[in-house]
Amino acid sequence: MINITAARRARRQGLELNIAPLIDMVFILLIFFLVTTSFVRETGVEVERPTAQSAGAQESATLLIAITRDNGIVIEGRSVEAGAVRVHVERAMAENPEGSVVIVADRGSSTGTAVQVLDGCKQAGAENVALAAANGNG
């Protein structure tokens, strides 16, 4: 004979899908992509860089300093005076002593402003200071 109560009980219990391992995998993938993503640092202003035949790629920079066409100095999106460059570079070098500084000067900016910024970087103790240029090899 067929046990009707056992058949009804089997239909009620049904299959359960455990999604906890699936959620764990999604979080592991999310953490993996967040850790391996490299973030692009920007100067915060639009700068037209001069071209140079010997321009090479810089791995990464701790601090980007922009010099605009009207000789304004921008660090981390804020406009600063030439005398304040040293303080900002010292702070960046304290956070990362092995870091580097890249000066992104506009083609129309004066050489005097670039020299003041370079001098402030050197006074702050920055060993790796580079001047950004666009690659002129086509």
Spatial distance between the Cα atoms of 55 and 40, rounded to a whole number of angstroms: 19
Question: DSSP label at 134?
Answer: E
Could you read off the pLDDT of 87-110 as tens digits, one per residue? 988 998 888 888 888 888 888 888
Q: pTM (2 decimals)?
A: 0.60
* Per-chain mean pLDDT for the chain: 80
At 16, is the pLDDT very low, low, confident or very high (cuts 50, 70, 90)? Answer: confident
Domain boundaries, the chain: 4-36, 51-135
Packed helices 111-123 and 85-95: angle between N→C axes, nearest 10 degrees:
40
Q: Does domain 51-135 have CATH number 3.30.420.270?
A: yes
Please name which of 80, 99, 79, 82 lies closest in space to residue 91, comparing C-alpha atoms. 99
Please write the tens of the pLDDT for every residue from 72-85.
999 888 888 988 89
